[in-house]
Each structure stands twice: as C-alpha cells, then as structure tokens.
C-alpha cells in the first residue's frame, strides 16, 4: 500500500467534484461535493516516506495541489483507531467488504453501508452510554486538538 499524499486527496476531491457535478447542483467549492468518504490506512506515516513534504501532516506543501489536499485533510473531524484485528464472521458483511475492496459494490451494499451513518434515519444508533461503546476511545489527530 502506498502512502496517501496531500496531492492524492486533492485529486480525489477534484474527481468527486466532476462526477457529482453531473448528478446534482451541489456547490463546487464544497470538499468532495458533499459526498461522504471513508479513508483507511496509515495517514500519519513516519519517515522514511518518499517525499515528506507531500505527506498529509506536512505544513509546507510544495505545490498548490498539495496545499489544497492538506487543507482538505485538515477538515476531517472523525478518526477511528482500530486497536484489535478482527475477522468478520458475518457472511453478508464478508461479501459486502469483498465487493467494496474490488470497487464492485451493489446498490444493496451501499444501502447497508449507508445505514451505518449515524445521521441516517435508518441507522440503528447504538447507546453510546453503555458498553462496549461507553468504553470506546476517541482518537483525534493533532490538528483537531490544536485548532480547538
């Protein structure tokens, strides 16, 4: 897996803007045209990396595209830190995850995934005051803490 760079984030947002422009009148200045994104990986990689100033955490982006990508990255508010490797035992989820990894999600897959979004009226929101959620840790990147 290669490192996700600030330039890649910028380019992903540009592609999303073009794709979404064809299907809605959402303001083009809104990051990813308002689409939700789930990014996975190690975004705060430590050296050695190919070009340290292209990393998402770099405050000295070398180009306008990298600077835009860095600002987009700084807008992310939710970070989930997975501390235990778990194997999916649910056969339905196994198939959804497999199709998602291949970029072959069906419309039914997307409906199931969207039901995980807390602001979705169809989401079965867990009680965060009870275990296991009451024991969960919220991990935020340094930039969130610094900006507050």
Per residue in 73-110, pLDDT (tens digit) is 888 777 666 666 667 788 888 899 888 877 888 999 99
> Phi first, then psi: what are they for 142, rounded to 5°?
-50, -40
If phi > 0 it is left, if psi is from -120 to 50 it is alpha, else beta; for residue 85 that is beta
Percent of the chain whose predicted confidence (pLDDT) is above 90:
6
Q: What is the mean pLDDT of the segment spanning 5-31?
A: 74
Domain locations along the chain: 6-75, 91-136
Q: How far apart are CA 33 and CA 119, in angstroms?
A: 18
Q: How far apart are CA 93 and CA 46, in angstroms?
A: 32
**Mean pLDDT, the chain, as a whole number?**
75
How high is the pLDDT of residue 85? Answer: 63
Strand partners, 55: 5
> Taking the C-alpha atoms of 124, 23, 73 and 46 in order, what is their torsion angle to the nearest 10 degrees?
90
How high is the pLDDT of residue 86? Answer: 66
Between 144 and 107, residue with greater pLDDT: 107
Instruction: Pull the structure tokens for residue 147.
Output: 């900006």
> Phi first, then psi: what are they for 5, rounded to 5°?
-100, 165
Between 127 and 47, residue with greater pLDDT: 127
């Amino acid at each position: 897996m290669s490192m996700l760079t600030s330039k890649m984030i910028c380019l992903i947002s540009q592609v999303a803007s073009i794709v979404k422009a064809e299907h809605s009148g959402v303001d083009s200045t809104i990051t990813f045209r308002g689409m939700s994104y789930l990014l996975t990986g190690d975004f705060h990689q430590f050296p050695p990396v190919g070009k340290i100033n292209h990393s998402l955490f770099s405050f000295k982006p070398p180009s306008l595209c990298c600077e835009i990508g860095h600002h987009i990255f700084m807008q992310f508010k939710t970070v989930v830190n997975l501390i235990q490797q778990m194997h999916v035992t649910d056969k339905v989820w196994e198939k959804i995850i497999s199709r998602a990894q291949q970029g072959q999600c069906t419309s039914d897959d997307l409906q199931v995934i969207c039901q995980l979004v807390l602001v979705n009226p169809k989401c079965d929101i867990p009680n965060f005051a009870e275990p296991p959620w009451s024991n969960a840790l919220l991990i935020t990147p340094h930039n969130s803490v610094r900006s507050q």
